[in-house]
Amino acid sequence: MTKTNLAIAGASGRMGRMLLEQAALDAQTQLVAALDATNSKAIGVTARLFGGNADVFVTDNASALERGDVLIDFTRPEGTLGYLEQCEACGAGMVIGTTGFDAAAKARIEAAAKRIPIVFSPNFSVGVNTLFKLLEFAAKSLDGSYDVEILEMHHRMKVDAPSGTALKLGEIIATAQNTRLADRATYARQGHTGERVRGEIGFNAMRGGDVVGDHTVVFAALGERIELSHKASSRVSYATGAIRAAKFLSGRTSGLFDMFDVLDFPR
């Protein structure tokens, strides 16, 4: 059995540790590189202390990517774009779970996918991606008389809002209804706002404690309300999905994919 050689970025962080732990449990992968920011206290420490099962030491030297088939990256936009350049240079694929990219950064990722294989998704949970698919059906079935609100809550350390997953939920609804999210999104309400604008998609972001990730989409009409929710109590589902995505990329030379491709969901 051929194993996928994994490199993991942000090795000492919350998501990095979970990725190391789950990769250690997957017989089809082999950890070959663990990376972290230059100022990290983990530099030079064995990845075993963070849940890894290989004699790999955490480094800030991106040349370590040359040993990997795929880099899994859940860091921050500036870090991801730096790793992207290194992956292009050595021909490694990328699984990108980082959120908060602007349009220029997204275009940069799309351009890189012409040279290396990339799975780019705001959420790698199989459950969340199933929610995405259910939402397509709901949005097509429910007409404009249903008001749409998206609620999300994450831990106090999260730096972007709304979450990438919440924005993806909004994009799915808008696309399914043959509209553009940019024309419908409302990101904040304060003061005397007047009546709700027909057709808008409202976003509500909450931050606090150690909440891993809660998302709810509400379709509200006169006399009834439909709610579709996903609540994550652990990062395990994100990590196992990302590792599944890394194995999906093994053997591919280029292309931009998402979790629908990894899970072989119908388009």
22-35 pLDDT, tens digit each? 999 999 999 999 99
13 pLDDT above the threshold of 70: yes
Are the CB atoms for 207 and 155 separated by under 8 Å?
A: yes
Taking the alpha carbons at both ends of the chain, their separation in whole angstroms is: 31
Q: Where are the domains of the chain?
A: 4-124+235-263, 126-232
> Six-digit token pair at 237?
């589902």
- Interval 166-206: pLDDT, tens: 999 999 999 999 999 999 999 989 999 999 999 999 999 99
- Interval 85-126: pLDDT, tens: 999 999 999 999 998 899 999 999 999 999 999 999 999 999
> Six-digit token pair at 252?
């591919």
Q: Cite the beta strand spans of 63-212 per DSSP E.
A: 70-73, 93-96, 117-120, 147-154, 185-186, 201-207
Identify the pLDDT of residue 110: 98
Confidence category of residue 2, pLDDT binned at 50, 70, 90: confident
For residue 145, give Cα distances in angstroms to 9, 93, 226.
45, 44, 13
Q: CB count, 10 Å around CB of 182?
A: 9
- Interval 67-79: pLDDT, tens: 999 999 999 999 9
Active site includes 231?
no
Q: Looking at 114, 158, 230, 247, which residue is catalytic?
A: 158
- Higher-pLDDT residue of 267 and 164 is 164
* Spatial CB neighbours of 39, under 8 Å, sequence gap ≥ 6: none
Instruction: For residue 105, give the DSSP letter.
Output: H
pTM, to two decimals: 0.85
Largest CA distance in the chain: 63
- Interval 208-245: pLDDT, tens: 999 999 999 999 999 999 999 999 999 999 999 999 99
1 pLDDT above the threshold of 80: no
Q: Looking at 3, 140, 154, 247, which residue is catalytic?
A: 154
Identify the pLDDT of residue 266: 85
Quote the percentage of the chain above a pLDDT of 70.
100
Are the CB atoms for 200 and 184 separated by under 8 Å?
A: yes
Tokens 């990722």, located at residue: 109
Identify the pLDDT of residue 214: 97
Containing H/E element for 213?
strand 213-221
Confidence category of residue 144, pLDDT binned at 50, 70, 90: confident
What does CATH list as the number for 126-232? 3.30.360.10
Give burial (CB, 10 Å; 0-12/13-18/19+) of 266. exposed
Span of 4-8, 62-66, 207-211, 240-244 with lowest mean pLDDT: 62-66
Active site includes 154?
yes
Identify the pLDDT of residue 114: 98
152 pLDDT above the threshold of 80: yes
Helix pair angle (164-176, 126-141), 10° resolution: 30
Question: Average pLDDT of 245-259?
Answer: 96
Question: Average pLDDT of 41-46?
Answer: 94
Can you tell me the distance from the alpha carbon of 140 to that of 29, in angstroms, rounded to the nearest whole number? 39
Instruction: For residue 140, give the DSSP letter.
Output: H
Fold of 4-124+235-263: Rossmann fold (3.40.50)
For residue 156, give Cα distances in angstroms to 49, 171, 202, 210.
25, 25, 21, 7
